[in-house]
Amino acid sequence: MQTITIRHDWQPEEVSALFALPLNELLFQAQTVHRQCFDPNEVQVSTLLSIKTGGCPEDCKYCPQSAHFETPVKASKLIDVEKVLADAAKAKEAGATRFCMGAAWRSPKQRDMGDIKDMIKGVEALGMESCMTLGMLTREQADELKGAGLDYYNHNLDTSEAYYKEIITTRTYQERLDTLDNVRAAGIKVCCGGIVGMGEGATDRVELLRTLANLPEHPESVPINMLVQVEGTPLNGTENFDALDFVRMIAVARILMPASYVRLSAGREQMDDSTQALCFFAGANSIFYGEQLLTTPNPSENADRALLAKLGMRLEGETPTTSKNAA
């Protein structure tokens, strides 16, 4: 692999200029950067499980798990460790290398930390990477999760700091940044991205990616979500986000954060094969596997296998001769 410069000093006008490039030029630049850090035909696969659903005290306007809104999602308790590990084993068998567990909490309570740590240890024993998203963390909680062996912690910024108050009022942007600092200080890898299609402007998308790229260390994983509209949430009925603008988002993320995995996350169910193919060409190299992302739909594993086979791509860790894609 060629050496590539990792920057943390991107200026607004530089990022805006990337978004403004003709699409072919932007894709060329993104693919060139991508090939310097990754195999362009490999895709890392994670599986996401909701370990505690609904009843969240936060008021994120996109989220059907918020207790502030009347949505089809009903609150449930933390599920049993054994059930989580059984699902993790199935995910591994299907080709996932990372198992992500999400709880609809503002922050974890100490009474739940024992089960959380057992889940982390169990996933590690299966030979998979572990990821948790549990809301805000103190430094002490981050240290505790690291002691259990946690590999990744997900905590998205969601949008720009300027637009953030239009989406969430129950926690501040700085509190999100503080959690990222606590995770980093504990030695856990960071998974952090955002959501597009929430009514934000082009400047907000510039600032979201610029904030991520200008963190002291780039997130190792950058999930880019397209809003999935859910009945009962305030953002239901928002104008659909343009597919090519989403491709631009992926490409700019790749250029700004060359060595990070850029993940196609929520919203893939709404994308046709051509849009996903363009996203892969733009530098996306990670997906969530499985028909459910916490509470929203996702393409089936068979559909993903078929798409990757059509594109001549494979799961990370497979080789062209061992890949199941040809099956």
* Active site residues per annotation: 56, 60, 63, 100, 131, 191, 263
d(CA 197, CA 110): 35
Instruction: Determine the number of helices (DSSP H) and then strands (DSSP E) in the chain.
Output: 11, 12
d(CA 180, CA 195): 17
- List C-alpha distances in Å: 215 to 91, 136, 177, 208: 32, 18, 9, 11
DSSP state of 294: T
Number of Cβ atoms within 10 Å of the Cβ of 146: 17
- List C-alpha distances in Å: 162 to 82, 156, 166, 195, 203: 42, 15, 9, 14, 10
DSSP state of 325: G
- List C-alpha distances in Å: 56 to 68, 170, 207, 230: 8, 11, 27, 16
State the amino acid at position 30 in one-letter form: A
Torsion angle of C-alpha atoms 69, 74, 78, 82, degrees rounded to 10: -140
Please say whether the beta carbons of 228 and 246 come within 8 A.
no
Give, rounded to a whole angstrom, the gap between the first and last alpha carbons of the chain: 31
Residue 172 CA to chain centroid, in angstroms?
20
4: nearest Cα among 255, 253, 191: 255
State the amino acid at position 269 in one-letter form: E
Residue identified by tokens 């933390």 is 78
State the amino acid at position 73 in one-letter form: V
